[in-house]
Amino acid sequence: MLRIWEGLNGFTQFSAVLISSIGLLFHITWSRRATALGPTILTTLGIFFCFAGIAWGLLDFDANDVRSSVPHLLGGIRTSFWASVVGIFWALTLKIRVALFGDAPVPASGAQEGSTVDDLARLLVQLNRSIAGGDDSSLLSQVKLLRADSNDRIDRLSEAFDGFAENIAETNSKALVRALSEVVRDFNTKLNEQFGDNFRQLNSGVARLVVWQVQYEKQLKALIEQETATRESMTEAASRFTDIVNLASEFAAVARSLQHIVGALNNQSEQLARALL
């Protein structure tokens, strides 16, 4: 509780102390009047400080600077809620005391002994008029007026919260859009700064790669042409080698024929030599 109390602002502490002091005063001066008016006064004070807290929070609210205005606004809303909680708490303590221990005793009226039944009837009529009379000073009229005033205050509070919620939603949406735009712009700037040189080097490398591909294509065409010429030369050489092989076969046949002729000549030469001998 001490941590919660230290976290409240001065206005919230003042409202809580004031309402608590009045609630303690009603308990100390315990009477029928305190039990009748105490809960109403404490609840009304809670509602009053609720509206005062909201008004205090909206006093310095700047729609163009939501980020710095929201903490002050939240402080005002905190005041309104805590004031309402304290007021309702002390009003409940009075009602619980009445429910558990009964209402305060009626003080001595100072009536003389020997009062007649007519005096009692007259007092009862006065009491009935005070409670359910038709004038505005009767207790029933006061309760009705208090109920109507409370309902009217609650309706105005609901309307104020609805308008506040709409303004906050619209303001937060605009602030979010502006923040996202700034983030995207900063991101693009940093991206260009960090990766601009890399992209330029990549473009230069791609250009050199294209030049190398063109040169490689030319060299590949030259190699293909050389390979084609070599293949044609090899085909022509194979054809000539085939011709040489065919000629070699013919040369072999001629050589065999010459061998037979030479052999025949040798035989004739030997026969001639023997004949001469």
The candidate with the shortest Cα–Cα distance to 128, out of 112, 117, 139, is 139
What percentage of the chain has pLDDT greater than the value 70?
74
Whether the predicted pLDDT of 5 surpasses 70: no
Distance separating alpha carbons of residues 261 and 92, to the nearest angstrom:
154
Q: What is the chain's mean pLDDT, rounded?
A: 76
State the greatest distance between any 2 C-alpha atoms of the chain, in Å, as a whole number: 215
What does the pLDDT read at residue 232? 85
Whether the predicted pLDDT of 110 surpasses 60: no
Q: pLDDT digits over 207-246, tens only? A: 888 888 888 888 888 888 888 888 888 888 888 888 787 7
Q: Residue 159 — very low, low, confident or very high, per pLDDT cuts 50/70/90?
A: confident
Greater confidence (215 vs 192) lies with 215
Q: What are phi and psi of 41, to 5 degrees?
A: -65, -45
Whether the predicted pLDDT of 257 surpasses 60: yes
Distance separating alpha carbons of residues 252 and 189, to the nearest angstrom:
91
Q: At 71, which amino acid appears?
A: P
Residue 247: alpha-carbon gap to chain centroid? 96
Whether the predicted pLDDT of 7 surpasses 70: no
Mean pLDDT confidence for 246-275:
79
Whether the predicted pLDDT of 145 surpasses 70: yes
What does the pLDDT read at residue 216? 84
